[in-house]
């Protein structure tokens, strides 16, 4: 009688795995993303840049978190095994309790060559508890909305880092940035760049085609001999020192993210 709960769990696991995969599901193709940065937390702090380096930037658009896996981890369940290599996991799912991050190339495999249980050749990934981020297990993605837990090899603890991202291909994406170009004879040259998201379109094959953001650039000139405080598109900078090799400054007012 004591073994019945274990038998029930085993049967439930078999039923879940019976849902797929055997290559009937693919992870989302990773679109180009960029780390989200906001210049507001750089206010009133002395900074320095060299030519061709960004001085400040800000961005807006739908954000999410990808997961950086820094070491190799393994797991197994019901005749299946998963081997996750160090990588960035882009394909993100969630439910009330967990976040799931799946690989676009590491997939579940059968223990034996002649064995092909349900659930093999599915995307492997990590499952992280929302309430206890230290609670990390492995998972496989059976369908676009179904997952199965994979017992992780506890001899190696996953080293992970969540990274906030923003999709530069989203129509609502906007990024503004200012770059130090050069300084000569008292004249400071800066490059202001603005990138605006553009609508995507559906191709002849029915898939959504990503369109690169529209980028515009403008070279700005400032006479540092006349004014140490300069304004750039609603931002304000205090120039402390300018040489051809280095620019030292403070951000008095950041670029708005709108």
- The tokens describing 92, both together, are 């993100």
The predicted model gives 111-122 an average pLDDT of: 66
* Per-residue pLDDT at 37: 42
d(CA 15, CA 128): 23
pTM attached to this predicted model: 0.63
Would you place residue 42 in the very low, low, confident or very high pLDDT band (cuts 50, 70, 90)? low
* Per-residue pLDDT at 144: 84
* φ/ψ of residue 209, rounded to 5: -100, 130
Q: Does residue 12 carry a pLDDT above 50? A: no
Number of residues that this document lists for the chain:
258
Q: Does residue 88 carry a pLDDT above 90? A: yes
d(CA 164, CA 33): 10
The predicted-structure confidence for 153-195, as pLDDT tens digits, reads as follows: 989 999 999 988 888 888 999 999 999 999 999 999 999 999 9
d(CA 227, CA 220): 14
Residue with the bigger pLDDT between 55 and 226: it is: 55
């Amino acid at each position: 009688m004591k073994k019945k709960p274990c038998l029930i769990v085993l049967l439930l696991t078999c039923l879940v795995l019976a849902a797929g995969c055997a290559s009937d599901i693919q992870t989302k193709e990773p679109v180009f993303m960029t780390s989200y940065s906001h210049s507001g937390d750089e206010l009133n702090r002395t900074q320095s840049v060299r030519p061709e380096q960004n001085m400040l930037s800000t961005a807006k658009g739908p954000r999410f978190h990808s997961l950086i896996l820094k070491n190799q981890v393994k797991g197994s369940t019901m005749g299946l095994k998963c081997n996750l290599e160090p990588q960035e996991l882009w394909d993100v799912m969630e439910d009330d309790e967990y976040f799931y991050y799946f690989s676009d190339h590491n997939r579940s495999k059968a223990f034996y060559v002649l064995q092909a249980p349900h659930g093999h050749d599915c995307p492997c990934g990590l499952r992280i508890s929302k309430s206890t981020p230290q609670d990390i297990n492995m998972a496989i993605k059976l369908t676009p909305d179904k997952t199965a837990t994979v017992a992780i090899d506890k001899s190696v603890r996953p080293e992970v880092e969540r990274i906030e991202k923003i999709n530069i291909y989203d129509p609502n994406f906007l990024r503004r940035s200012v770059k130090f170009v050069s300084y000569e004879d008292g004249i400071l040259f800066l490059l202001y760049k603005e990138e605006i998201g553009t609508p995507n379109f559906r191709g002849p094959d029915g898939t959504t085609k990503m369109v690169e953001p529209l980028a515009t650039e403008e070279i700005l000139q400032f006479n540092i001999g006349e004014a140490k405080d300069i304004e750039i598109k609603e931002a304000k900078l205090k120039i402390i020192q300018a040489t051809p090799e280095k620019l030292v400054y403070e951000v008095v007012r950041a670029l708005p993210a709108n």
